[in-house]
Amino acid sequence: MNVTMANRTYYVHAPANYDNNRAHSVASTLNNLGIIAVYPAGAWGPGKPTDGPQRAWQGAPYAYITYTQDMLKDLEQNMCVDSSRLYASGKSNGGGFVNLLACTESTAGTFAAFAPVSAALYPATDSFSGCNPNQAVPLVNLHGADDTIEPMAGQAEEYGNIGYATPTIEGWRQAWANRDGCSDRSAVDEVVQKNVFTSTTLETWNCSTSDPRATVHAYTIAGLGHSWPSTTGADGGVTAFNATTAVIIPFFDQFST
């Protein structure tokens, strides 16, 4: 696929029941329950000092909003897509880029909901560098309490480089709730539920009585490191639930544009 400023590719996983005569929802990185899954290829960048060049979505010149927009246009031209049910999810650098998509007005209105997981919220993708969706954004976030790569407490720098600064996850979540309308204390409906899954706390903000999109769901998993919550195979620990099927897809299913 040729896109603005670069020749980029993406992978598509069509569900077994894909029907070219029926519009399907689309989610980046997810493939379940009749959803078309799209896996965009990150561009090569310098990477962290200890890692060397890597493909990444980190906030940098090669993390293109334009690429995502062109990818969606290409997908809509070649597959039967329900454009009202486009969703964005990603982990780590991908989670940071999902945050950037949610923060950017042109893409905040394109995607119906967002799911950043263990997000790398470096300055160019995080709200403290400017986040103006100018609309209510439904967002679900999952983060391990023991994540040392993207710590819950945030960090002022890494390797002596402030370009790797990140906010506290709690502060970042609250900022999203504020943007969705919860800065008006009279509108706040904040609920904290412990052990919604084993060792997992859910904090929910419902910020409008008239707009269901004005909501933030935040899961904090005790004992989990820098991993996508899953019952198997996670190098940062396993969880009692699978984030994809138990949390993210049910959340996405509530929203359309």
Q: What are 72-82's pLDDT values in tens digits?
A: 888 888 888 89
Give the pLDDT of residue 32. 43
Give the pLDDT of residue 67. 79
State the Cα–Cα distance between residues 192 and 199, nearest whole angstrom: 13
Q: What are 95-147's pLDDT values in tens digits?
A: 988 999 999 999 999 999 999 999 999 887 765 557 999 999 999 999 999 99
Mean pLDDT value of segment 144-168: 90
Mean pLDDT value of segment 28-54: 59
State the Cα–Cα distance between residues 80 and 151, nearest whole angstrom: 40
Give the pLDDT of residue 38. 79
Write the DSSP string, 39-90.
Answer: EEPPEEE---TTT-SEEE-SSSTT--HHHHHHHHHHHHHHS-EEEEEEEEEE
Q: Tell me the two tokens of residue 59.
A: 């906030």
Determine what percent of the chain is predicted with pLDDT higher than 90: 50
More confident residue, 252 or 191: 252
Give the pLDDT of residue 147. 97
Specify which of 1-5, 9-13, 226-230 reaches the highest per-range mean pLDDT: 226-230
The CATH fold assigned to 2-253 is: Rossmann fold (3.40.50)
Q: Which helix (H) or strand (E) holds 249?
A: helix 249-252
pLDDT band at 2; cut points 50, 70, 90: very low
Give the pLDDT of residue 240. 95
Pair type for strands 113-117 and 81-91: parallel
More confident residue, 48 or 204: 204
